[in-house]
Amino acid sequence: MDVSQYLEIFLDETSEHLQNLNTQILSLEQDPGNMDTINEIFRAAHSLKGMAGTMGYKRMQNLTHDMENVFSEVRNGNITVKAGMIDVLFQCLDALEEYTTNIRENADEGTNDNEPLIKQLNDILNGGEGGEDAAAKPAEKAAAPAAAAESSGDHGDKKWLDIKLGDSERSVLKGAIEEGKKVYGLTVKVQESCILKAARAFLVFKAIEETSEILLSNPSAQDIEDEKFELDFSLIVISGAELDQVIAAAKNVSEIEDVIGGVVDPDGAPAATEEAEPAKEETKPAEVQKPEPAAAPAASKPAASASGGKKNDEKKPSAGKPVVNRTVRVDIEKLDTLMNLVSELIIAKNSLVAASAASGTSSTAVNEQIEYLESVTTSLHESVMKVRMVPIESTVSKFPRMVRDLQKKLGKKMELYMSGEETELDRTVVDEIGDPLMHLLRNSADHGLESAEVRKERGKPEVGSIFLDAYQDGNNVIIEVRDDGNGIDTEAVRNKAIEKGIITPEQAENMSEKDSIDLLFHAGFSTAKVVSDVSGRGVGLDVVKSKIEALSGEVEVKSKLGEGSSWIIRLPLTLAIIQALMVDIGNEKYAISLGSIQTIEDIAPSDVKFVQAKEVIQLRDLVIPLIRLNEILDVESKKDPNDNLVVVVVKKGDKQAGLVVDELIGQQEIVIKSLGKYISKCKIISGATVLGDGEVALILDANTLI
């Protein structure tokens, strides 16, 4: 079978599953008893195996198969999750990642069989079974007669009797009964002619949920949603209503053939029917024994019950509503085309505005339509931008795993706290921001945080904290990497810079704290005394800075010696279209990004002062240098020197400058176009835009002017 056409999808989905596995295994490490996590892991491993098998990647399939085996045993409670096992699983994920990379590069998975890993997995399997053999066996034995009893007892239509109750479910049922509610088992049969079984099942769920709470279903709610059932499904519900009412509600749904129900005794088996009596007694020991090995580590016990409780809460919505996201995968290039078309539309709209203003005969009707067009193009632009936006989660979700690895490698104790993973950024930015963030996190882990002993001495908690916070701030997205480590020792930084010949000792004397910190971004600078595997090759921070600047962002550092440092990355929300102030300088039009503009001032020529032969103005107790744009741009100003100056005050970080322009034209939405490689010499121009009248205006990069 030719599967090459599916390769792209396979790779995409594999990466998704691997990422998911990474996250889930991490949370499993935190909470080893969480059945939801284990189920999720099992599902992901299973899908991976299936996909790899279909595509004919045997080695990948083998490895995932063995992983799946392990998870399956964990799920059945035959193996408990141990730290060693988590390590092996992570190694497996790395191996799978390697396969995926190989496949991506040359459509072949490579020849690494990863036998040691498979052996380790099998050891876990055998070890686990060996250790709990004694416990598992009687359970199995007990289960066998129970099953026999069930089949001989012939539950017939009462298939709800087959539903196995776990520990937590049973306690929930008991709790419900104590509250005076009743527990019923239901089996719903759908007509054979029914086409949309899942939809009918959904309606039944909904009908029942009006009076009751659905605790369990067989098959699972997810499977029912996916139509993975034959003609019937069974439910265990907790209800305040009578059994007849519940059954009647379910029967009300069309195309439902029959609903059979009975009262369930939470102690293992339904008490209503006589045939079930032997089954009840037999299943009881089986059920009681089974959870024992699972609950063996005392620590996991409360976790398990806690998660059990949580599960019930979560079950309610998931049983009723389909939770699958309806998505379409779209090639990013197609989105770019769409984006370009929207840009063209905005230019055309602007032309229309200009034309109507120029003709002078603008009637209210035309104006109204133009305003309408404007609101449509604006929302169209917003929606297209939103389509391109993805949560940064896809990039940052690999960091907890990375920090975990760093912790082992560096022998320091640390914890990563993340917030705002749902913050959205343009797809291209999200793809690019991963590396800089990784550098910063490594930096914090390696240079920032002190070792546990030092931390203890200083009265800090032994476990160091690294924070990664993302949030939106106006038209920017801020990503902050913070640690509670040692902070930046500016003295050490200066000494190092002198040693490296980056600055002279004299320069160092006069350097402010901030300038010293900025030295860190200098190419070829690394303060770590020993070059470690983790960071310290001296390529980190200047790469971080240039990468972020390439994305039109900026990075700022705040640090307090002994208390920690924070790295603040500020990124623009969108790259292609910005709000800009149009200005006139010597009859030429220029655009200045609204984002960098602080205020606009009208200054009398007499208020211009001189400091070190440079023009400055004083504004609210701040001395701001003036930049005469006409001089920088080599044009004649058409203004009378005695007239008041129009000064656009721009900021970069906490630095400000006043740009002197001839006239303000107005605010406008502009589409940024590149000037191309051919004209790249001009640093102060960051791009160009096409105005409404078809003319090209240049965009001034205020950052390079300051």
Partner 1 sequence: MDTELKTVGETKQFIVIKLGDEQYGIDIKYIDNIVRMQHITRVPKVDAYLKGVINLRGEVIPVMSIRIKMGLEPDVETKSSRIIILKLEQQGMIGVIVDEVKEVVTLESDQIEKMAYDSKDDKNSFLCGIGKCDGGLISLLDLNSVVLENV
List, by residue number, the catalytic residues: 46, 68, 443
575 sits near partner 1 (criterion: CB under 8 A): no
Of 353 and 616, CB closest to partner 1: 353
| Out of 35, 673, 705, 706, the residue judged to bind partner 1 by CB under 8 A | 673
| Out of 212, 688, 692, 701, the residue judged to bind partner 1 by CB under 8 A | 688
514 sits near partner 1 (criterion: CB under 8 A): no
684 sits near partner 1 (criterion: CB under 8 A): yes
CB of 384 to partner 1, least distance (A): 16
Span from 144-152, 182-190, 446-454, 669-677 in contact with partner 1 (CB under 8 A): 669-677
Q: What angle do CA 648, 652, 657 make, to 5 degrees?
A: 35
With H, G, I as helix, E, B as strand and everything else as coil, classify residue 424. Answer: strand
| Out of 12, 129, 549, 695, the residue judged to bind partner 1 by CB under 8 A | 695
Six-digit token string for 349 = 């709209």
| Rounded-to-integer distance, Cα 8 and Cα 104, Å | 8
685 sits near partner 1 (criterion: CB under 8 A): yes
CB of 698 to partner 1, least distance (A): 6
Span from 2-10, 21-29, 201-209, 695-703 in contact with partner 1 (CB under 8 A): 695-703
| Rounded-to-integer distance, Cα 289 and Cα 275, Å | 23
Q: How many CB atoms lie within 10 A of CB 292?
A: 14
Of 334 and 681, CB closest to partner 1: 681
CB of 380 to partner 1, least distance (A): 17
52 sits near partner 1 (criterion: CB under 8 A): no
User: Do residues 315 and 214 make contact, with C-beta atoms less than 8 angstroms apart?
Assistant: yes
Instruction: Using alpha carbons, select from 686, 688, 684 the residue that is nearest to residue 698.
Output: 688
Span from 6-14, 195-203, 470-478, 672-680 in contact with partner 1 (CB under 8 A): 672-680
Which amino acid would we find at residue 647? V
CB of 689 to partner 1, least distance (A): 8
CB of 613 to partner 1, least distance (A): 23
User: Do residues 653 and 554 make contact, with C-beta atoms less than 8 angstroms apart?
Assistant: yes
676 sits near partner 1 (criterion: CB under 8 A): yes
697 sits near partner 1 (criterion: CB under 8 A): yes
Q: What is the residue whose two structure tokens read 């916070």?
A: 469
Which amino acid would we find at residue 113? D
Of 183 and 698, CB closest to partner 1: 698
686 sits near partner 1 (criterion: CB under 8 A): no
Q: Where are the beta strands (DSSP E) in 513-642?
A: 554-560, 564-572, 577-585, 588-593, 597-603, 609-611, 614-619, 622-628
CB of 402 to partner 1, least distance (A): 39
| Rounded-to-integer distance, Cα 94 and Cα 91, Å | 5
| Rounded-to-integer distance, Cα 72 and Cα 266, Å | 26
Of 347 and 392, CB closest to partner 1: 347
Using CB under 8 A, which residues numbered 577 to 636 contact partner 1?
588, 632-635
Those residues with Cβ within 8 angstroms of residue 427's Cβ, 6 or more apart along the chain or in another chain: 332, 335, 388, 389, 390
Scanning 444-569, the segments in alpha helix (DSSP H) are: 452-457, 490-499, 505-509, 513-518, 540-550
| Rounded-to-integer distance, Cα 218 and Cα 224, Å | 8
675 sits near partner 1 (criterion: CB under 8 A): yes
Of 223 and 588, CB closest to partner 1: 588
CB of 632 to partner 1, least distance (A): 7
694 sits near partner 1 (criterion: CB under 8 A): yes
Those residues with Cβ within 8 angstroms of residue 468's Cβ, 6 or more apart along the chain or in another chain: 396, 399, 416, 417, 418, 419, 437, 441, 479, 480, 481, 482
Using CB under 8 A, which residues numbered 323 to 352 contact partner 1?
343-344, 347
Span from 94-102, 440-448, 470-478, 690-698 in contact with partner 1 (CB under 8 A): 690-698
| Out of 357, 409, 679, 704, the residue judged to bind partner 1 by CB under 8 A | 679
Six-digit token string for 200 = 């009918």
674 sits near partner 1 (criterion: CB under 8 A): yes
**Would you tell me which residues interact with partner 1 (CB under 8 A)?**
343-344, 347, 588, 632-635, 673-679, 681-685, 688, 690, 694-698
